Structure 1
Amino acid sequence: MWKSGFKWMFLVIGTTIGAGYASGRELWQFFGDESGLAIMLFAILFSLCCYVILKISHENDSTHYLPVLRIIVGEKLSYLYDGMIMIYLFTTTVIMLAGSGATLQAFHLPNWWGVLLIVIPLVLIFVWDIKGVLSLNSIILPLLIVGLLSLLLMFTIQQQLSFLPELDKQRNWTAAFPFTALNILPLVAVLGAIGNQTKSKGEIWIASIGSGLVLGVISYLYNNSLIQISDEVLLYEIPLFAILRHYPYVMFLFITILLWLAIFTTAVSGTLGLITRIRSMIKAPLWLLAACTLTAMIPLTKIGFATLIEYLYPLYGLLNLYVLSALILYPIINRYKVGQK
């Protein structure tokens, strides 16, 4: 149970910690000053949503997200959100490809090198189907979490920052809702594809609470660090580099590799959600579907990493608020229906 629980937890975290999150750009877009309470609310809401999605996926033995989506938003709205999820997964995976290009630009290498560097292994990982994705996450994610937490703790201690928020200054608490909503659709897409592989409610609880706790702690430390260097953040397309400039080049190199791995795991998760849905309509190997889909994405990476996040993420956060509401209310409505029977 514990082993499976951590496996799903890493899949959830890998889906969430991508180019936008690990780079700091996504956190800075939604949080900033007076956001300690918002981040705490996000962690709670995120855990609840993970539990509901995994529970529905498990009970319906799902292999792609559409059956799960129908239960969450209803038959009629599921068609609208099905289209939205496919567009969302497509555009956010484009953001991951652009993020890989932006990461290599930090080493003064051409942007397209970074795009190719992520596209080729993305196709190869799907030769091993979903098992390849799960094996990859179980190796990369522990390293990524430890590396990111270590950097943020070092920066917090060196800059003598407070670990506790000022409770009387929390005016940005409402940011928790669009930020959680932003991360809901990829969870529905990815966790809907593994419903037939979950075995017990225990592993669902471990995955849900564990992922919410880990993401809550990282989000708080990260946001707290970015607040201290807010003037420098504006100068960087990837805010994480504003923190790394305070450290030796070896640290910069190590964390940049971790950032790229975070981008890669989210690109894998996004591609997985997209191509498992496509495979329910077109019977073909996952690697072939991945190759065709990623080829179509490459031209769109020219738009730029920061620009894509600035406009698309807040829009998706607002559009997904209905799904977030449906997930929060699901346990109450479901219990009421059971009671009526």
Structure 2
Amino acid sequence: MVKGEIGNIFKVAFLYMATIIGAGFASGQEIIQFFSMYYAGGFFGIILAGLLFSIVGYVVLNKVYTERISSYDEFLFPMTGYFLGRLMEFIVMLFMACIMCVMVAGLGNVLAELTGMEYRYCVAIGAAATLLAIMTNIKGIVTISSFLSPVLIVGIIFVGLYILASKDTSVFNISEKARVVTNNWVFSAILYVSYNTILSTVLMTRMLPYLKTGRVGKWGGIIGGGMLCITALVLNSALYSFYPHSIISEIPVLGIIQNNSRLLSNIYSIILILAMYTSAVTAGYCLTERVSTKMKISYKLVAAVICAVAIPMSSLGFSRLIATLYPVFGYLGLFLLFIILFQFVRSQVSPGTGQRRGSSPGKS
């Protein structure tokens, strides 16, 4: 494995992770809703989710490489057929629109708190910054993700370890019952992977130019899933030590550290901004690419319209979205997840199946 190949593997892994480590992850809301609430089972759930993320990344990226896939349609429709493919496509686009609107709203909230500016102006700034990144197309998205993903991982792990080292539940004076997503940690982990697979698959089907060899795709997916697992385990350990007190905050991690360290609170606010920005850009890019391709409209025009519409639409509650809307898309995305897992099982039983006739995947 040459040096350049290793660099591409981590570039692909970080881009894969960028679609998952959004504001819901970094804030702690996703971890609490889908894992911490199951106590010890939550840790097993994270390990299961990490394994599934690795499998999904491995299967999708390997399929993109071996079959020379360059669009979501080429990946989806041969596996689902026309009707189910169209239905899945509608779900994907709706989910991407929801994610972008909520992340732009989140950017506005955190920016307003940090700067003291009016919320509406901060939302407009967040939408404009998102538009600038979307305009750079996939190359710019890869560059942004390659830089921001490592920063997010290091920042989240550092803050998680800090919380564990300086645990002080006196910062809370309320305890309340949180809503349970499902009745067991196994299905909760599956739902978590399911709705995250909706967006990540769209982006991964655009990554063929970066898959120079088969190993880049395979190991990019595996390493991406593994790093997600480690990061989530650290964050869950921190949140679990404060449960159920940690559920009272809209942004649990920030709620834990803001009374312990003002400096760290400001630093983590920046991390949250980066996480929200990464999610908004990724969702916005995928949605823009889908709409412009399907409707044969200028990519830049679609990007501008989507970002403009996101400003008035960015009014959904953050924790409510994660507790209600995310599980809904988790159920809707189960079909796609099961198809991908079926592809993995079939490839293990019959190696070499699924490669497009006449393709030239090269050596791996």
TM-score by length of 2: 0.84
**Once the two structures are superposed, what CA deviation does each residue of 1:3-47 show, in whole Å capped at 9, x if it has no partner?**
111111111111111121111111111111121111101000110
One-letter amino acid of the counterpart of residue 280, structure 1:
T
**2:144 is the alignment partner of 1:136:** yes
Question: Where does residue 219 of structure 1 map in the other structure?
Answer: 232
Deviation of the 1:246 alpha carbon: 4.7
Deviation of the 1:234 alpha carbon: 3.3
Q: Distance in 2 between matches of 1:111 and 1:310?
A: 24
Structure 1 portions without partners, runs of 5+: 161-169
Cα 1:235–1:338, aligned 2, differ >3 Å: closer, same or farther?
Answer: closer
Range with bigger deviation, 307-316 or 276-285: 276-285
Question: Where does residue 87 of structure 1 map in the other structure?
Answer: 94
**2:181 is the alignment partner of 1:159:** no
Aligned residue among 287, 290, 304 for 2:317: 304
Q: Distance in 2 between matches of 1:301 and 1:52?
A: 34
Deviation of the 1:340 alpha carbon: 12
One-letter amino acid of the counterpart of residue 216, structure 1:
C
Give the number of aligned pairs: 332
Cα 1:233–1:120, aligned 2, differ >3 Å: closer, same or farther?
Answer: same
Cα 1:171–1:126, aligned 2, differ >3 Å: closer, same or farther?
Answer: closer
Q: Distance in 1 between matches of 2:191 and 2:184?
A: 15
Structure 2 portions without partners, runs of 5+: 169-182, 356-364
**Once the two structures are superposed, what CA deviation does each residue of 1:103-132 show, in whole Å capped at 9, x if it has no partner?**
234445433233222211211123332211
Aligned residue among 55, 73, 81 for 2:80: 73
Q: Distance in 2 between matches of 1:293 and 1:321?
A: 27
**Once the two structures are superposed, what CA deviation does each residue of 1:179-200 show, in whole Å capped at 9, x if it has no partner?**
1112110011111122344221
Q: Distance in 2 between matches of 1:188 and 1:339?
A: 20
Deviation of the 1:146 alpha carbon: 0.9
Range with bigger deviation, 268-277 or 83-92: 268-277
Aligned residue among 5, 10, 13 for 2:9: 5
**Once the two structures are superposed, what CA deviation does each residue of 1:55-111 show, in whole Å capped at 9, x if it has no partner?**
222233333312111234333311110111011111111121122123234445433
**2:269 is the alignment partner of 1:262:** no
Aligned residue among 45, 59, 63 for 2:70: 63
- Do the aligned residues in 2 keep the contact of 1:48 with 1:208 (CA within 8 Å)? yes
**2:342 is the alignment partner of 1:329:** yes
Question: Where does residue 174 of structure 2 map in the other structure?
Answer: none
**Once the two structures are superposed, what CA deviation does each residue of 1:253-282 show, in whole Å capped at 9, x if it has no partner?**
111101110111111111121111122224
One-letter amino acid of the counterpart of residue 141, structure 2:
V
RMSD, aligned α-carbons = 2.4
**2:61 is the alignment partner of 1:48:** no
Question: Where does residue 130 of structure 2 map in the other structure?
Answer: 122
Q: Distance in 1 between matches of 2:159 and 2:10?
A: 23
Q: Distance in 1 between matches of 2:24 and 2:312?
A: 20
Question: Runs of 4 or more off by more than 4 Å in structure 1?
Answer: 334-341
**2:119 is the alignment partner of 1:111:** yes
One-letter amino acid of the counterpart of residue 28, structure 2:
G
- Do the aligned residues in 2 keep the contact of 1:193 with 1:273 (CA within 8 Å)? no
Q: Distance in 1 between matches of 2:321 and 2:28?
A: 14
Q: Distance in 1 between matches of 2:221 and 2:49?
A: 13
TM-score by length of 1: 0.90
**Once the two structures are superposed, what CA deviation does each residue of 1:221-257 show, in whole Å capped at 9, x if it has no partner?**
2122112223443332111212222532111111110
Question: Where does residue 164 of structure 1 map in the other structure?
Answer: none
Query: What fraction of aligned residue pairs are identical, expressed as a percent?
Result: 26
Q: Distance in 2 between matches of 1:307 and 1:138?
A: 30
Question: Where does residue 281 of structure 1 map in the other structure?
Answer: 294
Range with bigger deviation, 195-204 or 264-273: 195-204
Cα 1:72–1:151, aligned 2, differ >3 Å: closer, same or farther?
Answer: farther
Cα 1:241–1:93, aligned 2, differ >3 Å: closer, same or farther?
Answer: same
Cα 1:339–1:39, aligned 2, differ >3 Å: closer, same or farther?
Answer: closer
- Do the aligned residues in 2 keep the contact of 1:101 with 1:114 (CA within 8 Å)? yes
Question: Where does residue 16 of structure 1 map in the other structure?
Answer: 20
Paired residues for 1:227-246 under 5 Å: 227-246=240-259
Deviation of the 1:209 alpha carbon: 1.6
Q: Distance in 1 between matches of 2:239 and 2:31?
A: 9
